[in-house]
Amino acid sequence: MNIDSIKNGVVIDHITAGRGMKLYRLLDLDGLDVPVAIIKNAYSNKKGKKDIIKIDADITVDLDVVGFVDPGATVNIIKDGAVIGKHKITLPQTLKNVIKCKNPRCITTTEQELPHVFRLTDPEHKIYRCVYCDTKSNV
């Protein structure tokens, strides 16, 4: 398989195998009118298998979404064929409009304009809680 390198854009690397498509959906990459490559189950020295997403455009990627899906991923910024920035991703402390509260009694159910905000309460188990009703959500 041959996936060309990109000249200017973003490479999300070291995604845990199988999580690439979830990241693709949450980042709304299907709405982009630029080349996007998803490589699933690529060989990795560290992990055995990994997913990779290459975006051939100079866009801003929501690092909180990447951290929510896979805190071990890396986001590389490419300019003129060279890596000019590398972000190690961690679990975000707060998520805004990434996941939705499942509690039917939560104020976000009736007040549609309110953002869905979750805060990290248990990093070890990746548990987030709604800031309005304290409902638990796992990654």
pLDDT score of 24: 95
**Domain for residue 3, yes or no?**
no
Lookup result for tokens 């890596």: 83
pLDDT score of 45: 85
**Domain for residue 59, yes or no?**
yes
pLDDT score of 1: 59
- Pair 106, 115: CB distance under 8 Å: no
Number of domains in the chain: 2
**Residues with pLDDT less than 50, the chain:** none
Q: Where are the alpha helices (DSSP H) in 4-106?
A: 20-26, 63-69
Over the Cα atoms of the chain, what is R_g?
A: 17
pLDDT score of 116: 95
pLDDT score of 4: 72
pLDDT score of 86: 93
Please tell me whether residues 67 and 106 are part of one structural domain: no
